[in-house]
Amino acid sequence: MRKKTESALPVVVIGAGMAGARLAARVPGATVVGEERHAPYNRVLLADVLAGRYAPDVIALPATEVRRGVRAVRIDRADRLVHCDDGSVLHYGRLVLATGSNPVLPPLRGLGDTLPDGVHPFRTLDDALALRAAVRPGVRAVVIGGGLLGVPAARALAECGAQVVLAQQSEHLMERQLDPEAAALLRAHLEALGVEVHTECRVRGLRCATATTTESVRAVEPADGYELAADLTVLACGVRPRTGLALAAGLDVRKGIVVDDELRTSDPYIHALGDCAEHRSTLYGLAGPALEQADVLAEVLAGRPARYEGTRALTRLTLRSPDPLHALDLAAFGEARPLPGDDVVRLADATRGAYRTVVVREGRLAGGVLLGGLGAVSGLARTWQDDEPLPPAMSLLHLLIDDGGH
């Protein structure tokens, strides 16, 4: 029997997150294997599901055919096969690893391989739904981690009526994205909604109580010895690329699965993209770069010339509220911390709750942070992403004060 040609074998995508779903929508006939029981969804909106603003079907992505609840367990590179936990075996001409990332579970005393009752990660739709089912007015909730995951989770829990404490290890909230001034405004916004914020707070353990055969969390223990009472504890300590399949298959893995400009791994028939992929020594962990990678890879798989040269990633976070006065938008891009010799342009409007700062380096925009009305984001981000020389100073000021026509 004559062996099938490569073109006769389908593209198989492992992972039905935002990157995998985007790719599948652009590659006709692709087979997508997804561990989650849900249809692909917009992970950026999980806090809105937790807050009760959106039902799961509202955040679903455009229809993509997915084998749901199926986990790929082994890759046979020699015969180009994917073995799944339901016993099925998939042939591939090209394999795409879009395995995403796992939440980081910190090494806390009282936290073993099985999470105690009341302790929740916050990464998937099931996580958001489980928290939604557990939270009720007056419940005491401690969120560990004040970054891109923890801040929206704390905001959503407070909106549900919980008594929320947000514990952040570093000096200020969202330290990777915000400067101290912007972080202080974010903190004031959360505190105005009833969230108790503790910075420079290193958590060392959980105190749990045993009832029959299960353990339930009762308190979070910071290193200073003071206890934070907790009926619910949310672990929002960052994410780590899922590389287990790639490692077991013998692919080149560093922090993530190493890929070239065609998103190709060390095996020419296997690609990777999204949170699990490491491109030019960079892990992005954001939706924007993952979607851009998917678009490039769709062209590559179609046989058209395309290269991914990296993303100048913009971080944007919207803390929605039924009351527009209690909503907050923020955006950060590039290097917002100035170096010696940099110029800084900063505007603050306390009455409107707006803060905008940009760093200018050698005549180009190096980075910036914006809170409040974000009408200026599009122009600034476009200038930064294109790495264009800046217009005259008055034009830059105009970009900073532009409110998008509002």
Going by pLDDT thresholds of 50, 70 and 90, the confidence category of residue 58 is very high
Going by pLDDT thresholds of 50, 70 and 90, the confidence category of residue 406 is very low
Per-residue pLDDT, 318: 83
Per-residue pLDDT, 26: 94
Per-residue pLDDT, 374: 61
Mean pLDDT of 92-103: 96
What are 171's two structure tokens? Answer: 């000096």
Whether residue 244 is predicted with pLDDT greater than 80 in this model: the reply is yes
What are 181's two structure tokens? Answer: 């001034």
The pLDDT mean for the chain works out to 89
Mean pLDDT of 199-210: 91
Going by pLDDT thresholds of 50, 70 and 90, the confidence category of residue 2 is very low
Whether residue 7 is predicted with pLDDT greater than 60 in this model: the reply is no
Going by pLDDT thresholds of 50, 70 and 90, the confidence category of residue 126 is very high
Give pLDDT tens digits for 353-377. Answer: 678 888 888 888 888 898 876 665 6
Whether residue 293 is predicted with pLDDT greater than 70 in this model: the reply is yes
Per-residue pLDDT, 392: 65
Whether residue 213 is predicted with pLDDT greater than 70 in this model: the reply is no
Per-residue pLDDT, 380: 75
What are 136's two structure tokens? Answer: 């009720």
Per-residue pLDDT, 398: 64
Give pLDDT tens digits for 245-272. Answer: 999 999 999 999 999 999 999 999 999 9
The alpha helices in 263-352, defined as continuous H runs, are 287-301
Mean pLDDT of 50-56: 94
The answer to whether 140 and 218 have CB atoms below 8 angstroms apart is no
| 3-state SS, residue 136 | coil
Mean pLDDT of 21-36: 95
Give the C-alpha distances (Å, rounded to integers) separating 323 from 21, 111, 190: 33, 37, 14
- Long-range contacts of 291-299, Cβ-Cβ distance < 8 Å, separation of 24 or more: 291/18, 291/19, 291/22, 293/19, 293/263, 294/19, 294/20, 294/22, 294/23, 294/26, 295/22, 295/26, 296/262, 296/263, 297/23, 297/96, 297/262, 297/263, 297/271, 297/273, 298/23, 298/26, 298/27
Per-residue pLDDT, 60: 95
Mean pLDDT of 385-390: 78
Whether residue 12 is predicted with pLDDT greater than 90 in this model: the reply is yes
Whether residue 207 is predicted with pLDDT greater than 50 in this model: the reply is yes
Give the C-alpha distances (Å, rounded to integers) separating 4 from 10, 75, 88, 95, 303: 11, 19, 19, 16, 19
Going by pLDDT thresholds of 50, 70 and 90, the confidence category of residue 401 is low
Whether residue 176 is predicted with pLDDT greater than 70 in this model: the reply is yes
Give pLDDT tens digits for 314-364. Answer: 888 888 776 666 678 888 988 888 899 998 888 887 666 678 888 888 888
Per-residue pLDDT, 348: 82
Going by pLDDT thresholds of 50, 70 and 90, the confidence category of residue 400 is low
Of residues 18 and 344, which shows the higher confidence score? 18
Per-residue pLDDT, 405: 43
Going by pLDDT thresholds of 50, 70 and 90, the confidence category of residue 33 is very high
